[in-house]
Structure formats: structure tokens, C-alpha cells
């Protein structure tokens, strides 16, 4: 028991060290204003009742504003995880530092988890802080706060999507042999879920005989919600949609829960497994 407590303490210390080191990097200096502009700016803009939003997009409640802002979270914060984590393992491996760390009498699982928490929380903490600031911006514009439940769901889902990306990034970083392949794999994984996923969904729908010419039809909405469970971005949106009214593609809670548990544990497990097998 005391060994487990010691291990947890060590994990906490190492993660804190990782976060501190990551927060002081040039990458973070670049990322912070981007997060501020994307998340804060979008919340401010969507909550402006006089703003003319494209198409039939409308945000009438604070949570709907947060839901619309979540698209900007997907574009900025997940990219931030890519920025911080794409070479998290490969850089240490190529510099020889990983060999020194692997020689130390500490379990690789703890070292790997500290890397994972380091990358995740480096982006998640500023994102949460900026999201809380956004709540104040929304209040300024709409004179209303989201409910505590809505706020917890938003922060919980946002933190989770960043954890999923951190696991994916570190997993691909552990496979990368050099900086070039680390960038390619890291950005490639981000592009797959952020840009290409809709194309994949449409192609699959066409192959399986689902009408993909009209994305508003119920059959396609139901199909896309199932495919989205296989994408971190899609699942993030589905989690937030669970709290929205007038959404046609709601999934049962048990399906969302299974997908959430899968994305939280399976990529992290594979990363730690890979980290344990890694040749430094």
C-alpha cells in the first residue's frame, strides 16, 4: 500500500515537473494567445446577440455558446496538444536522454504516465482557465451563466478530448524515428480527426447505402453519430450534444459511456505498453 502511495507521489512530482518545463517553452508562448483568441474570442462573438452568424447557426443559451465554441477548442487546444506532444518521446529518444531515464530504478509506467499527464495538463490547464474566463465573457454579453451541470460537462468533455489527443500524440511519437516522421505522424493524426473525418463518414455512408447527399436527413445523422464515436472530436461533440435540446443525433448514454471509457483507456494503455517495450 505504502509503495503505491510512494509511486503516486512520484508520479505527481514528475508530472508537475513536466508541466512546468512545458509551460516555459516557446511553443507554449505561441499557443497561449491562440487559445485565448480562439476560445475566448469565439465565446465573446457567439454570445453577442447582435452578431449575424452564418447559415442558421444560433446560440440562445450560455451552453449553446459553449457548444459552438467547442469547435474552436477542437481547432486550437487539440492542435496545442500536437504542438507539445508530437516529439515528446522521439526527441528524448534521439537525444539519448530516454536511455538515461530508463537506466534509473523507476518503473517505465510511471515515467510514461508522467509524460502523458505532462503533455495533457500543459494544454488542459490553460484551456480550462480560458474556458472559465469565457464564462465571464458570456455573462457580460448574455447576462446569464451556464448551469453548474453544463459547466462541469463542458470542462469534463474538453479535458477528456485533450487527454485522448495526448495519448495519441505520445503513442505516435514513440513510433517516430526522427523529427520529420514525428511531425508527419502527429499532424497526420490531428488532420485525420479534425479535417478528414467527415469525408471518411461520407464515404462509409455511401458504401453502406446511407444517403449522404443530404446531411440533414435522420438516417445520415444517426449513421454519422455512430461513426463519430470512433473519433475523439466526434465523441467530444456527441458528449456535449447530450445536453442540447433539438438535436436529432442523440445516442444512448450507455453507448456514449462505453466510447468515452474506450477513448480514455485504450490509447493510454497502448502508449504505456509501447513505452514499456521501447528500445532507448
Partner 1 sequence: MAKALLEFNAVDFHHKIPSPKIFNPLNKIHGLGIENISLSLISGNIIGLVGPNGAGKTTLMKLLAGLLIPDDGEIIFNGEKIENTNRPNWSKKMIGMMPENIHWYGTSTPFKVIERLFTIRNMKNNNIEKFLDFVGLGVKAHDSLDSLSQGMHQRLSLACALIGSPDILLLDEPMNGLDPVAREAFAGVLKNLAKQGKAILISSHQLAELERMVDSVILMHNGEIIETGNLENIRKKYGIHNDLILKFPKKINDLDEILSKGNFENLNYKVSEIEDNFTIKINSPKGGWDTKTKQEILECFISNNMIPYDFTSQKIELVEILSAVTGLDVDKVGMSLREKGDNNE
Nearer to partner 1, 93 or 243 (CB): 93
CB 93 → partner 1: shortest distance, Å? 11
Cell output for 157:
468533455
Site string for partner 1, 145-184 (x = CB under 8 A): ----------------------------------------
Contact at 8 Å (CB) between 240 and 154? yes
Measure the CA–CA gap between 175 and 62, rounded to whole angstroms. 42
CB 280 → partner 1: shortest distance, Å? 5
Of residues 65, 111, 176, 256, which one binds partner 1 by CB under 8 A?
111
Angle of the 148-175 helix axis to the 253-277 helix axis, nearest 10: 30
Nearer to partner 1, 156 or 269 (CB): 269
Contact at 8 Å (CB) between 115 and 23? no
Q: Binding of partner 1 at residue 14 (CB under 8 A)?
A: yes
Of residues 37, 99, 129, 175, which one binds partner 1 by CB under 8 A?
99
Stretch near partner 1 under the rule CB under 8 A, chosen from 28-36, 95-103, 162-170, 198-206: 95-103
Cell output for 246:
433539438
Nearer to partner 1, 140 or 177 (CB): 177
Task: Give, in order, the Cα–Cα distances in Å from 181 to each of 86, 105, 192, 235.
Answer: 10, 30, 16, 27
Of residues 50, 52, 60, 104, which one binds partner 1 by CB under 8 A?
104
CB 176 → partner 1: shortest distance, Å? 14
Contact at 8 Å (CB) between 45 and 138? no
Nearer to partner 1, 1 or 207 (CB): 1
Stretch near partner 1 under the rule CB under 8 A, chosen from 91-99, 157-165, 206-214, 235-243: 91-99
Q: Binding of partner 1 at residue 101 (CB under 8 A)?
A: yes
235, 126, 45, 74 alpha-carbon torsion, rounded to 10°? -30
Cell output for 56:
442558421
Site string for partner 1, 24-53 (x = CB under 8 A): x-----------------------------
Measure the CA–CA gap between 157 and 159, rounded to whole angstroms. 5
Of residues 33, 96, 209, 252, which one binds partner 1 by CB under 8 A?
96
Measure the CA–CA gap between 38 and 36, rounded to whole angstroms. 6
CB 107 → partner 1: shortest distance, Å? 8
Measure the CA–CA gap between 159 and 150, rounded to whole angstroms. 14
CB 89 → partner 1: shortest distance, Å? 15
Of residues 44, 45, 75, 106, which one binds partner 1 by CB under 8 A?
106
Buried b or exposed e, range 61-73, using 16+ CB within 10 angstroms: bbbbbbbbbbebb
Measure the CA–CA gap between 109 and 92, rounded to whole angstroms. 16
Measure the CA–CA gap between 279 and 230, rounded to whole angstroms. 30
**Touching partner 1, residues 251-280 (CB under 8 A):** 279-280
Binding site residues, partner 1, CB under 8 A: 6, 10, 13-14, 17, 21, 24, 94-97, 99-107, 111, 279-280
Amino acid at each position: 500500500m505504502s509503495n503505491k502511495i510512494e509511486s503516486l507521489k512520484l508520479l505527481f512530482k514528475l508530472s508537475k515537473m513536466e508541466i512546468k518545463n512545458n509551460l516555459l517553452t516557446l511553443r507554449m508562448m505561441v499557443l497561449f494567445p491562440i487559445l485565448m483568441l480562439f476560445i475566448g474570442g469565439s465565446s465573446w462573438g457567439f454570445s453577442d446577440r447582435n452578431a449575424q452568424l452564418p447559415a442558421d447557426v444560433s446560440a440562445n443559451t450560455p451552453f449553446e455558446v459553449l457548444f459552438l465554441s467547442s469547435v474552436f477548442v477542437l481547432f486550437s487546444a487539440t492542435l496545442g496538444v500536437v504542438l507539445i506532444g508530437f516529439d515528446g518521446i522521439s526527441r528524448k529518444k534521439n537525444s539519448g536522454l530516454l536511455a538515461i531515464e530508463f537506466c534509473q530504478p523507476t518503473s517505465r509506467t510511471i515515467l510514461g504516465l508522467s509524460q502523458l499527464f505532462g503533455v495533457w495538463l500543459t494544454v488542459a490547464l490553460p484551456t480550462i482557465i480560458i474556458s472559465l474566463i469565457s464564462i465571464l465573457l458570456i455573462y457580460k454579453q448574455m447576462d446569464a451563466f451556464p448551469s453548474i451541470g453544463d459547466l462541469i460537462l463542458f470542462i469534463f468533455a474538453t479535458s477528456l478530448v485533450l487527454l485522448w489527443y495526448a495519448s495519441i500524440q505520445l503513442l505516435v511519437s514513440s513510433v517516430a524515428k526522427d523529427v520529420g516522421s514525428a511531425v508527419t505522424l502527429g499532424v497526420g493524426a490531428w488532420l485525420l480527426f479534425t479535417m478528414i473525418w467527415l469525408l471518411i463518414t461520407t464515404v462509409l455512408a455511401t458504401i453502406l447505402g446511407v444517403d449522404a447527399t443530404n446531411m440533414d436527413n435522420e438516417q445520415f445523422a444517426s449513421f454519422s453519430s455512430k461513426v463519430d464515436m470512433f473519433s475523439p472530436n466526434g465523441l467530444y461533440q456527441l458528449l456535449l450534444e447530450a445536453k442540447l435540446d433539438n438535436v436529432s443525433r442523440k445516442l444512448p448514454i450507455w453507448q456514449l459511456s462505453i466510447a468515452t471509457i474506450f477513448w480514455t483507456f485504450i490509447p493510454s494503455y497502448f502508449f504505456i505498453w509501447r513505452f514499456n517495450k521501447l528500445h532507448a
